[in-house]
Amino acid sequence: MPRRALLRVPAAAITIVICVAFTVGVGQEAGLRTPWGEPDLQGLWNSETLTPLERPARWADTPVLTPEEAAAVEEWIASTPGRDDRSMRGTERDVAGAYNELWSPPRDVGLSDRRTGLIIDPPDGRIPPMTPDAQKRTREVNDYLRALLEGTASGPAGSKPSPRRSQSPPMYNIDRMNRSDGPEDRSTMERCFGIQMPVSERGVYRIVQSRGQVGIYVDFGQGQGFQRTIPVDGSSHLPSKIRLLHGDSRGRWDGDALVVTVANLTNKTDFRGARENLRLTERLTRVSRDRIMYRVTVEDPTTWTRPWTFEIAWNREPDRLNRSYESTCHEGNYGLLGMLANTRAAEALHAKGQGPDPATQDNATGGGTGENRSLANFPR
């Protein structure tokens, strides 16, 4: 289990975890079945991997590496500098990169079954093309964000272009904008609800079962965890007018697999360009005592020209040595106030002729120095 997950220790979660460990033990003694006869998916699972979602173009004809090739790739990635790369020492990007690298996979994580991509359909391992309407939406959002960053967003007729007087975003903002007029100008990650469905990589999961329902606690990234409660009782989805941040999940058993459909998502999350029209079909199959295969079919006819599917292995963590605690995003709760207050203070100083205009500064570009640590950049 990643070290970061061990840092979150709200006292209220401890009793829950102890009870979960006991329940998991009972399920294991029943031979991977629960006491009431259903497939037992319970436990603490880790999906961290170096395998990217899409197969890199350079590996287009190589869906699976040989053991020797995989070992070479993993050794190369582990030996690249990543956060230890100080070539940009003293810059904002250097500082931001050192922090953000903490949330990248540890050096001992490998490729998932030696695969070069998680997508299994289409066969080329790539996300299908976007529809013309989706391309237009994406282009409008990118143009808007770029205009703010460059200080060229249009204001009222005849006025001087200014990011602070620009029009509203073309759709609900989830990204870092180069503006801090209010909370909605900042990214949803900064606002503590940035994780989207589905989690396509690097997650930690605690699964608990009872009759008629399955609970999955998802721990991902920087305090972005959330709890899923999945009815497995034949009930229908909620009316489409009721929208939930992580969607409405309904499950059923198909042999040894738990099949979950997810609908009714909101426009406040974004998965590769899809928002409220996204629909997921998840399939969780425990293929051995220590592994679950998690397969997801992604559908949104308003975003992609066809559905697509990815698959990732969840590997079991030893319960005795690891615990999963509530992942609460407190940093954003306090940090967001600081971002807004700092911008107001900078504006006040600039109005007095002191300091630069905050509207001309870059408050949108994130940091990161580990981009070279990827399968796509392996010196083949």
pLDDT in tens, 342-376: 999 999 999 999 988 888 888 787 654 445 567 77
Confidence band (pLDDT; 50, 70, 90) for 159? very low
Asked whether the predicted pLDDT for residue 164 surpasses 80, the reply is no
Residue 167 is predicted with a pLDDT of 77
Domain boundaries, the chain: 1-380
CA distances from 56 to 117, 121, 295, 334, 376 (A): 7, 15, 20, 38, 5
- Asked whether the predicted pLDDT for residue 166 surpasses 90, the reply is no
Cβ partners under 8 Å of residue 53, min gap 6: 117, 118, 119, 127, 200, 201, 310
The pTM of the full predicted model, rounded to 2 decimals, is 0.80
Q: Could you tell me which of 51, 163, 69, 155 has the C-alpha nearest to residue 111?
A: 51
Q: For the chain, what is the mean pLDDT?
A: 81
> C-alpha distances in angstroms, 217 versus 25, 43, 199, 228?
18, 11, 12, 6
Question: Using one digit for the tens of pLDDT, what is the confidence trace for 9-20?
Answer: 333 333 333 333
pLDDT band at 291 (very low <50, low <70, confident <90, very high): very high
Instruction: Label residue 81 by pLDDT band (50, 70, 90).
Output: low
Query: Is residue 155 scored above 60 in pLDDT?
Result: no
Lowest mean pLDDT, pick from 47-51, 117-121, 220-224, 258-262: 220-224
Specify the pLDDT at position 158.
41
**pLDDT attached to residue 91:** 72
Report residue 114's pLDDT band, with 50, 70 and 90 as the boundaries.
very high
Q: b/e per residue, 32-57, with b = 16+ CB within 10 A?
A: eebeeebbbbbbbbbbbbbbbbbbbe
